[in-house]
Every structure is written in C-alpha cells, then in structure tokens.
Chains A and B, each alone.
Chain A
Amino acid sequence: MSEASEVKISRLGRFWTLLAFGATFAAGAWCQSRGFFEFAMHNPDEIWRLTKQHIHLIVTAGGITVCLGVPLGVLVTRGFMRRYKEVTLNFLGICQTVPSLAIIAIAMGFMGIGVKTAIFGLVVYSVLPIIRNTAAGLTEVSPALLDAGRGMGMTPWQILAKVEIPNALYIILAGIRTSIVVMVGTAAVAFLIGGGGLGDLIFTGIGLVDTGIMLAGAVPTALLAIIFNWLLSMVERLIISKGVLRE
C-alpha cells in the first residue's frame, strides 16, 4: 500500500510543480506587459469561445488518433506482420520528422481549408507515436506470458485482450498522453487553415506585435496542456492494473 501512495504523491507533486512553473511564467509575462490581463478582461467570451474550439479540436482529433493508432499498433505486432515490424516502425519514425506545419500544408493541398483539414493534419501527425508506443508495449510483453496463455487454451483474441493489452497498457497510455499533450500545442497551427482555436489569438498577437493578445492565446493553451496531461494520468491510474504498476 505504501508504494501505491508514494506513486500518488510523486504524481501529484509533478502536477503542482508544473502548475507552479506555469504560474511563474504567467506572472513574469504580466510584469513585462500588462496587456494580457487587459485583453483577457475585455474579451473573456472570445477567449472562452476559442478555448472551446481548441478543446473540440483536441478531443476530436485525439479520439480519432487513439481509435486509429492503437489498432494499427496492435496490427504491426501480429504474427503475419511481425516480420515487417522494424521496417514499419522505422518508416513511421522518419515520417515523424516532417514538421507539423508541413503536414497541415500538404493536407490543405487536397482537402481545402477548414476544421476537417485541421483535424486530419493533427491525426496524421499524432498517430505515429501512438502506433510506435503500442507496438513497443506489446513487444515488451514477456513471451512466457503468451506461452502460458496459449498453453492454457486462450484464443488469440483472448490473449490480446486479457494478457497483452493489460500488460502493455502502461506504455500504450504513456504514448497516448504524450501525443495528446503535444497535440494541444500543435493545434494552434490549425488557425492557419481556418480550423479556429487559440491559435487565432496567438497568430493575431504575433501579427500585431501585441504580446497581450498573443499571451491571451498562449497561456490558456499551456493550461490546457497541463489539464489534459493531468486528466490522462488520472485515466492511467484508473485503468492500469495495480499489479503492472508495481513492477
């Protein structure tokens, strides 16, 4: 029990550290230019509307990414694909080096502008780490467990659902969390192709050389990243078996 509560404390500790860091940053920004609070106080509805748009982007793109990435990650580790696993993962790794802006630009080329294109771009960009982590997590599962499961008369699906995924969940969810937190930042780019979101304020601020407006977009974005990170770590704690966490 003590181990479990230590884990809890260190997690909470990390959360507060991040929050404190964010607060310091915001305070520093405030010292430099009071424009942020002035703008925020005059336009709370605008910030809130864009934040909701941003959240909508993340939730939709994140949902699609997970629904796509995890099954693809499972697929590359199945028997018939295992031979090509290294090749596939290396290929995905190379794809990952293409900048997010480029992906969104390419997507715009054939899908036009709008939320759909933005979501498409975000999904393509974020799905790769999830596939990689899922595949890595599943590969890590000890062959002895698979042998035991098979020898006991589990079907391949039962082995996947009851043995492989639960024991790889830690790594799979870590991949999902990283991907989504990064996505919160990347989603700011969506504004450039008419996807809306807090990028609206950030890029307007940059355009007008108005730090206040820029911060009105950046600070909520940072807070969103922290909140998503915290929410997902809560999900991890809820669904990962204690037996796996302790190892």
Chain B
Amino acid sequence: MIELQRVTKIYPGSEHPAVDGVSLTVPEGEICIFIGPSGCGKTTLMRMINRLLPISSGKILMGGENILEMDPIKLRRGIGYVIQQIGLFPNMTVRENIAVVPKLLGWDKKKRDNRVDELLNLVGLSPEVFRSRYPSELSGGQAQRVGVARAMAADPPYMLMDEPFGAIDPINRSILQDEFLKIQEKLKKTIIFVTHDIDEAIKLGDKICLLKDGRLEQFGTPEKLLVSPRNEFVKDFVGSDRTLKRLTLLKVRDAMLKDPVHCHMDDPAADVIEHMERENLHYLLVVNGDNKLKGYVTRRDLADYHGPVGNLVHPMTLTVRPGLNLKDALSKMLQYDLGIVCVIDEEGRLIGALNSQTLVATVGITYDEKGGHWGKIVSGGKVL
C-alpha cells in the first residue's frame, strides 16, 4: 500500500508548487495511473516516492512506513523502476542488465542466472536468444520488455513506471500493454504508472489520479472518471468520446444477450421455418447436442427443404469470448460487417450473442440509470 498525505513539492526559486498537497492511497496489488497534461507534476510526484526528489512537505508511507525514515538506497532497491528512455546499460548484456539489482542485493550467480531466465520467459523473450545480447541489438519493444524484467528482477512489491510504453509504436505498445496486464494479474504488484495517454490510463489503471498544475483533480476508478467526471477539466481531459472509451472497460459478458434464440441441428426444417416466419426471423443460430455452436441457417435456404436443418448450416464468420472488451468486439463486428456476433465459451458452447443494440444499451445504461434495457431484443432460448 502506498499512501500520499498532502504531498507538496516546491522547486527552489519557483513560486508555484509543482505538486500541491496531493493525498491518495494506492491499495496493495493495484495499478494507479498518474495522468495529466505536461507540467502537471505527475513525474515529480512519482519521483518523490523513491526519493529521487526530496519532498517539500507532507508524508509518503509505503506499507505503513514513512519513506523519509528509510535509507534511500534500500528503499529504491525495493521498488522496481522503469523509465520511458528505458535506460538499459549499453555496456552490459541483457543478462547483466536484469541482474543489476539482484547483484546489488548480493544474490549468488546461480540464483541470478535462474532469475534472469525466468524473467525473460515472463516478458516473452527466449532466454537462449536474448540473454547474451547487448541493448544495441534489441528493438524498442524488446528493450522495454527487458526494462520491465529488470525492474522486477528482485521481485519488489512496488513498481514505479514513468511512461514506459511512451516511445514505442502503437501496435507494439498495445501488445506490451496486454502482456503487462497479464503479468500483473499473476504478480499483483502495487504499481504507480505515469502516462499522458488517457486510453492507456483507462486500459491499465485500477485507479486514475488526474493532476493539473500540481493539484489532484480527481482520483478514482477509470469507470468513475468516465461516468461522473467531477468538473469540466476532467470531462475535457477524458475526452468527448468518453462514452466510447467505456467500451474498453466493459466486457462482452456485460453486454451480451444471454441464451439467444437458436435451434438444434436435428430439428426438422419445416418446423424451424414455421417458427421463423411466425417470429419474422431471417436467420437462426444452430447448435449440436452439446450446445456447441455449429453456425446459422437462413429462411431462404430452408424453404421447401424437408430434412434436418443441420444439413444447411453456414459456419459462423466470427465468434468472440465473453472476456473480450467491447471496443475490440465492436471493432471486429464492423470489420467483418456483421450485425450480430455469437459469444462462445472455451468448449465452443453458445452462451450469448451481441448486436449493436445490446452494445448501445449497455454503454448507455449508466448514463440514464433507468435500467430495463433488454426490451426490444429477441430473447427466449430454444425455439422448439
């Protein structure tokens, strides 16, 4: 747990404080994002936590202990540190870079080498290929993976990350963010993460601390900032598309229509088409005996056919998993030009469906807070 109590920083010779009385608590195992426009004090605030900058007034507690009463060198060795420029030492191999802090802490060579391999695997780099390379032989993405591995080398409970993915191209950045979240899910570090990218903040943060001119504008979950921004500045900062941004936070399972209408492969076509005509359905999903999704049939195909519908099934172009975020799901729907996309579990069983109406309803729900949103959508499980 990291607690900031009215932390203030005034640079010598400056009238205005760079950080002005910021108080907040980052719970154990959470990622807290410091965000704000340039010069808002986010990096200054972060650098006071590992005492790279002295605190002018206020208190910072880590795990209940006042950091000013700790030896700064020891304090820093217990906090992983990642910076935007990565800062890998060019004179050292990847292995030596990662082993810096373990070596400072006096681990023996065998333990260090094992740890290096373990971490390289964790960040998705093959130890055989990478451990003897020099930083000049790495791409930007690879270098920052090593940077993250180096910060985690001695398994510190805390990490400070200053725009770690800021200098990496958008595609690799997104990959690194996903991997970072996966790692964090396993390791549950308490992380302070500085960025100026609101999308990154929403994607990675458990909490967001929005700063302006050294002052805390709003502190809370990304959801909270998007749904109820405290003032105009926060509203502007999160952007006019904040509704769309919520799509990143929501999962397919939150928006899907559970148990959509479907029929069984062995159902006779005549009965199915009768039902489709009655309900005015043009398409119908088809499952097998284990409720596994096989595809769909169209009313036109079924006309004048008398066998089981299973023979006329079209395979699905696209299915999604319930854990996918809505932004990616929507983008896939648009990409494949689909009005509906089926949600299946790991076994391939049909568990829901998603269409544009359900999406809109889910995102809109917290804004009107009226509920009752499934009204117009066809639900009802198996038809026959």
Contact = CB atoms under 8 A, between A and B. Distances in A.
Nearest to B134: A243
B384 interface: no
Contacts of B92: 166, 241, 243
A148 B76 CA distance: 11
A119 B76 CA distance: 47
B87 A144 contact: yes
B104 interface: yes
A163 interface: yes
A166 B78 CA distance: 25
B81 A162 contact: no
Interface in B146-175: 150-151, 160
A151 B83 contact: yes
Interface stretch (A53-61, A126-134, A153-161, A197-205): A153-161
Contacts of B91: 163, 166-167, 169, 241, 243-244
A166 B90 CA distance: 9
Contacts of A163: 89, 91
Most buried by B among A147, A167, A243, A246: A243
A7 interface: no
B136 A145 contact: no
Contacts, number: 81
Interface string B134-152: 1111000000000000110
B376 interface: no
In the complex, which range does the number of interface residues on chain A fall in?
20 to 34
B50 interface: yes
Nearest to B84: A144
Most buried by A among B76, B83, B87: B87
B378 interface: no
A152 B52 CA distance: 10
Interface residues of B, number: 30
Interface in A122-180: 142, 144-145, 147-155, 158, 162-163, 166-167, 169
Contact of B136 (A149, A166, A246): A246
Given A145-B87, A241-B92, A150 B52 contact: yes
A112 to B, nearest CB: 46
A6 interface: no
Contact of B85 (A144, A162, A241, A242): A144
Contact of A152 (B74, B81, B86, B137): B81
A166 B86 CA distance: 18
Given A147-B52, A243-B93, A153 B76 contact: yes
Nearest to B137: A246
A157 B265 CA distance: 75
B211 interface: no
Nearest to B87: A148
B77 interface: yes
A142 B229 CA distance: 40
Nearest to A240: B91
B291 to A, nearest CB: 53
A152 B77 CA distance: 6
Contact of B76 (A142, A150, A162, A167): A150
Nearest to B133: A243
B83 A153 contact: no
A167 B52 contact: no
Contacts of B150: 152
Contact of A148 (B79, B83, B137): B83
B90 A152 contact: no
B89 A167 contact: yes
Interface of B: 50, 52, 73-79, 81, 83, 85-93, 100-101, 104, 134-137, 150-151, 160
24 contacts: A142-B87, A144-B87, A148-B81, A148-B89, A151-B160, A152-B100, A152-B104, A153-B76, A153-B77, A153-B104, A154-B100, A155-B73, A167-B89, A241-B90, A241-B92, A241-B134, A243-B92, A243-B93, A243-B134, A244-B90, A244-B91, A246-B136, A246-B137, A247-B90
